[in-house]
Every structure is written in C-alpha cells, then in structure tokens.
Amino acid sequence: MRVDRMRLPLRLCGTGFRAVRTVVPVFGLVLVLGGCGAGRFGSELEDRPKPLPVRRAEGITLHIPAEQPFSIALPQSSRQAGLGGTAQSDATVTPTGNADAWAEVTSGGQASGLFQLGHSFANETGQVADFEFVIRLGYAYSASATPETAFADAKVGLKLYARTNMGRLVRDITLFTHETSNGPAQGTASASSQFTLTLLPNEAVNVFIAGQAAVDIREQRSGAGRVSVSNLAMDVTIRPSASAPRFTPGFVPQTGAGAGQP
C-alpha cells in the first residue's frame, strides 16, 4: 500500500484556537483535523476533580505535568458482542500525559474505549483573571473494517474541552476524527491549541482531552480502532483580566440620578 505524506492546511475553530500544520500519513482518503462539532463524546466528567487553587495573577505560568501531575485521568470502556461474535475494548491513562483507548469487534457487536486527560484550575486571586492556555500533544490512530464498506463501522477521534464548575461548556474543539466510511487509516501526528478563558473570582474550569475508539458493526463483519496521546503538556499563564473594570483606590462607583456628576 502506498503511503503519501501531505501537509494539511491550518484550520481555525472558535476564539483563540490554533491547530498546527501537521504532516500526516494518508492512505488515499480524507482525514478531518481541527474544526468544531464532530460529536461531543467524553465532554462530561464522571468524577469531579479537585481544582488547583490559583492565588496570584501577576503573569505567573504553570507547567502541567512538569510541575504536578494531571488531576483529570479517567479511563472508560464498554463492550457487547453479537451472537457468535466477540467484542473487546480497554482504555488506560497516566497523569504524566499519556493515554490510550482501543476497541475491536469480530463477527458483529459493539465496543468502545474512552479516556479523559487534563487539569482543573480555580481562580482564587480575588479578581477577574485571564487564564491563557497553550496545549501541545502527539497522537497516533488506526481504524479498519473487514470487509471494507461505506459504513462508519469504526470511529476514532480526539476532542479538547473546557467546562466550568457550573457545568458550562466554554470550549469544544475537534483535534482529529476519522471513521471507516472514508476507508481504513493509520498514522501519527501532533497538534496544539491556544486560547484564553476569563474566570470570575472563585470560578473553576476543567480543561481536558477526550479520546475515543468505537466500533459498532453487524454480523459477519469485523472492525477495530485505536487512538493514543503522548506527551500532553499544558502551559497556563494567569494575568489580571484586561476586560475587567479597574478603579483607583478609594473610588466608589455611583448609581442613580447623580451618577457621573461632580
């Protein structure tokens, strides 16, 4: 099988998103890298992590996991074989920045592996603060089905989410997705994303990667998928928010009919 290497164009999605130009092995098909939507698998956390309290906002930068392990490291898997078939799946995550999920079905059935990897931050600076995230990772993937058909028998993908402690989803970025309706695929690549979140005092946010490999296939067909992440790193710079109101010491905002008068 001939393997072509192509340079993909830069894709933009949402405020502050930047997908790197990556060189990806392509097996005569179209891969989707970067973008919005593409399903929200793994956007909800089963467990609520304890956020890292950030008490200073003077331009400090946190380096995760170099300074401390990721606080979000959750694997999940499920499987259900059809009559006469077999289904297998698993997921593993390490808080040092690596994760893997895979699923395989023979002669019909369903299987899924999912991981979530990231960190939780709480704004305890006593003021509105900007959290600027720079996220980098490498990943590998594979997806196949036998015999090959036009159906999405196997799917693999990576998403980047940011969700506040009140449950509001403030970032939903598709880093990569592929399904076997576009043919089999395998390869390695890298991605990065940069964005800024403005947090109110005592507000917290969970920022994490979700990776999924899923197979749903009929009898007499087989499929497999795998996705893994390596060397996930987050650099987070905290500053007083430029959009927050600033008052001189002793100033008391006025309201009512006399507001704005000397």
Which pLDDT score, from 0 to 100, does residue 220 have?
86
DSSP state of 72: E
- Residue stretches of the chain with pLDDT short of 70: 1-39, 244-262
> What pLDDT shows up at residue 138?
98
Q: How far apart are CA 240 and CA 257, in angstroms?
A: 32
Q: Which of 81, 134, 140, 138 lies closest to 106 in space, CA to CA?
A: 81
Tell me if 92 sits within 8 A of 182, measured CB to CB.
no
CA distances from 179 to 23, 138, 141, 142, 250 (A): 19, 20, 11, 10, 60
The per-residue pLDDT for 48 is 86
Listed by start position, the domains of the chain span 4-39+52-240
Give the end-to-end CA distance of the chain in Å, rounded to a whole number.
80
pLDDT in tens, 190-226: 999 999 999 999 999 999 999 999 999 988 899 999 9
Q: In the beta sheet, which residues pair with residue 139? A: 189, 229
Query: How confident is the model at residue 244, as a pLDDT?
Result: 64
Q: What are phi and psi of 227, to 5 degrees?
A: -145, 135
- CA dist 234 to 16, 64, 254, Å? 15, 5, 42
